[in-house]
Structure 1
Amino acid sequence: MVPYDLYRLLRCPTCGSRDLIVTDGGVACAACHAEYPRRNGYLDLMPRGVEFGYVSKYVSEEEELAHELDYRDLAPPLLAAGVRNRALRRLLDLRPTDIVLDSGCGNGRFAAWNANRVRLMVGVDPATLFADEAIKTVALVQGDARRLPFADGMFDKAFSIDVLEHFPRDVIDAYLSETARVLRPGGRFLVFSNTREPSRLQPLVEASRWLGRQFVRAGVYDFEREARRKSDHIKALATWEDVLEAMRHAGLRPVRVVFWNSVATSFVEHVLMKLGEAVVGRSRREAPHRAAAASTDDGAPIGEGTAREIRARQRMRARLQRRGPVYYALLAVTLFMELDLWLFGRARSGSYFIVVEKPEVRRLIED
């Protein structure tokens, strides 16, 4: 979706000019003459003639990852994504008058889930693996967070879910500084990410992971797709002190923190959910203890574990749209996982939600 209100927010990501002309095909910059086409449901606002040292695998391997990400269809926000989304709504306090940025939106699921709660929801990502629902409901932009194509102070709020752990430190600094630039004074920014720090409750988490490894050894399921998804995690912000320092460096003031000690979550993700996927995702032609090679529709090879997981998710999405017993069972599991935030949210751990604020000018001068 490319609504008219989106054009009001833009500036040229190449030269920084606000002298932009809306054309039949997209946007053109009158200052540097760069052209930014409108594509299938989004604007291509990548900076022209700029070479970045770091490129995410979701950009460099976009075509290959499209086969296994199963990104086009969205399920309701449940399980770990549901916990993230409920925390996002609660901590960021989204309002009908807000203009909100999802920076590094991925397929746009969090933006799409919350688009009807705000005045305008904008999603930006350098990769274009956007879900169909996001294309319909979110103002989508292909752009780089190191040079956001928006003018200063355009957004009331912003959020970043599962993004920072992918970046080296210099990219994190640029990402946070650009986010601070496009926030209005007093605007708030929610980040969910993780450091390398174990929590004091780690033995309970490891117990679920140990149980999951036993099922992997027995050939019941595997974590092939999860390992692929996390293969580029850098976690340059290795400690909580690193997180706070990075926020301060960008001129952002911490307002609230909730840690996610994944005691209940680990059991669900490493055992309960994987067992369910193994059952629901089994091919009708698949023998009980036999793993066969699989491929996508265009022949790209993927492992049987990944294929089984994709089948399970596709079959479950069809059931969840009906809001029947399966939906409410998974909602109950989501609320069980959310207990981690309510019971252990003050105990420092690797995973965290942090809300930061861009100080107003008067307060910044006083500080």
Structure 2
Amino acid sequence: MISSTLLSLVRCPDCRGTLGTRVSSVEVPVARVLVCEGCGRTYESPADYLDLRPREQFAEQTKYLDEALHVDARHERVSPPLLGSKIRNDMLRKFLALRAGEVVADLGCGSGRALLWNRDLGATTIGIDIAPFFSRDARAEVDLMLGDLRKLPFADHTFDKAWSLDVLEHLSLDALHGMLAEVNRVLKPGGSIFVYTHVRRNAPIAAGLRWINRLARHLEKWDLIDLRQERLRKSDHLNPLRDIPHLDAVAAETGFRVARIRFYTPLVGGFIENIMVRMAERAMARRAAARMAATGTGDAGGADAASVREARTSAKERIASSRTTYGALRALSFAMKLDLLLFGRVTSGPFFALLVKGGSDDRPAARPTDTRTRRHDNRQA
């Protein structure tokens, strides 16, 4: 949606001038036009989200702009937070402690599901993403916009807090510096950003993940799971951070300090999501393909995207309508917390971290030299 609050906060991404609004006389696809009072540029947007991408695109662009990554329709409908999504959302709420009245940005919001999941906390939230694959629920209920995280269309000191989930690994090191510098600019003094990403250096316990991945590849050979979409998504990973000291350095160079960190090596979660859930999804896709082949709308092998879409839609409908299904997934989500309880203090690749803006003068903070001052949180999520 596009609220009056959103319109009051946005600025031209090119010159940061104030944007005036007028309603387009054309019904579709353009429903709203914003005009920069500084440089005169116009921004045309549909009715349910703003398009404030900069005039000149960066040379480096994510593959998530490609519709091939979204053919499984996972973005179209939002289910309650379950499994790995629940782990991430619980940690977001724990680390950020959102409060009513705060202005908060979801940087790289994807479908907008985290915005929907956290509306009950009373903060003013805005989602921004480079790709327009927002869910129908998010388009109707939360503020959304297209934009580049390296050139945010907001004035200095707009936000109290921000979060960014599964985004940083898609950036090069230069792009990561550019993004964090922009986040520092738009955060108020003392503001913070919660991130979930990973570094390249892993812990020995990650051998368990490699075993799970090998098992998944064998199951794919036997046509029991389908990893094509997962491989396509991971092909966009650039993984700019070497290790945790490198995270400290990049944070300091962009005006942040790593105030809190929790590691997440999903051994239990990896088996549940990468083996159990994917086997269930594949079985549902095969049944959907058989039904479509019987009616002449698909193939019995289940290789077409339509069967995958139908299976995913059916799964989300079942979660919404079946207490048994929802309860089982809640139980599995609870079991996945064992990874945090058992391994949360073991330095590893994936992590949750809270980066706090270094100072009121907006200059880069000194790089932390005493890691004992950082909080390694190991309480139950």
TM-score by length of 1: 0.89
8 Å CA contact 1:168, 1:235 repeated in 2? yes
What's the counterpart of residue 290 of structure 1? none
Using a 3 Å threshold, how does the CA distance of structure 1 residues 124 and 365 change in structure 2: closer, same or farther? closer
Using a 3 Å threshold, how does the CA distance of structure 1 residues 359 and 208 change in structure 2: closer, same or farther? same
Using a 3 Å threshold, how does the CA distance of structure 1 residues 321 and 29 change in structure 2: closer, same or farther? same
Say whether 1:47 aligns with 2:46.
no
What's the counterpart of residue 226 of structure 1? 230
Say whether 1:22 aligns with 2:21.
yes
SS in 1 for 2:118: helix
**How much has 1:40 moved relative to structure 2?**
3.0
> 1:58 corresponds to which letter in structure 2?
Y
SS in 1 for 2:53: coil
8 Å CA contact 2:257, 2:365 repeated in 1? no
What's the counterpart of residue 2 of structure 1? 2
Say whether 1:134 aligns with 2:149.
no
8 Å CA contact 1:294, 1:304 repeated in 2? no
In 2, Cα distance between the equivalents of 1:162 and 1:54? 18
Deviations 1:307-355 (Å, cap 9, x if unpaired)? 5554332112112113601101101111111221122111011111110
8 Å CA contact 2:78, 2:113 repeated in 1? yes
Using a 3 Å threshold, how does the CA distance of structure 1 residues 307 and 271 change in structure 2: closer, same or farther? farther
Deviations 1:64-98 (Å, cap 9, x if unpaired)? 43423432111111111121111111111111222
**How much has 1:281 moved relative to structure 2?**
2.9
Bigger Cα displacement from structure 2, 355-364 vs 128-137: 355-364
What's the counterpart of residue 376 of structure 2? none
In 2, Cα distance between the equivalents of 1:318 and 1:40? 27
> 1:250 corresponds to which letter in structure 2?
T
In 1, Cα distance between the equivalents of 2:148 and 2:278? 34
Say whether 1:313 aligns with 2:312.
yes
What's the counterpart of residue 356 of structure 1? 355
**How much has 1:157 moved relative to structure 2?**
0.8
What's the counterpart of residue 332 of structure 1? 331
Say whether 1:12 aligns with 2:44.
no
Runs of 4+ in structure 1 off by over 4 angstroms are 305-309, 362-367
Say whether 1:156 aligns with 2:160.
yes
> 2:110 corresponds to which letter in structure 1?
G
8 Å CA contact 1:224, 1:305 repeated in 2? no
TM-score by length of 2: 0.86
SS in 1 for 2:48: coil
What's the counterpart of residue 88 of structure 1? 92
SS in 1 for 2:150: helix
Matches within 5 A, 1:134-283: 134-283=138-287
Query: Which runs of 5 or more residues in structure 2 are unaligned?
Result: 24-31, 292-296, 367-381
Query: Which runs of 5 or more residues in structure 1 are unaligned?
Result: 288-292, 296-301
8 Å CA contact 1:153, 1:185 repeated in 2? yes
In 2, Cα distance between the equivalents of 1:234 and 1:308? 30
In 2, Cα distance between the equivalents of 1:266 and 1:306? 24
What's the counterpart of residue 299 of structure 1? none
RMSD (CA atoms): 2.4
Bigger Cα displacement from structure 2, 204-213 vs 68-77: 204-213
8 Å CA contact 1:100, 1:155 repeated in 2? yes
Deviations 1:217-246 (Å, cap 9, x if unpaired)? 322122111111111111011222222211
Aligned residues: 352
SS in 1 for 2:164: strand
8 Å CA contact 1:180, 1:358 repeated in 2? yes
In 1, Cα distance between the equivalents of 2:135 and 2:343? 33
In 2, Cα distance between the equivalents of 1:272 and 1:167? 30
8 Å CA contact 1:145, 1:178 repeated in 2? yes
8 Å CA contact 1:224, 1:303 repeated in 2? no
In 2, Cα distance between the equivalents of 1:344 and 1:23? 53
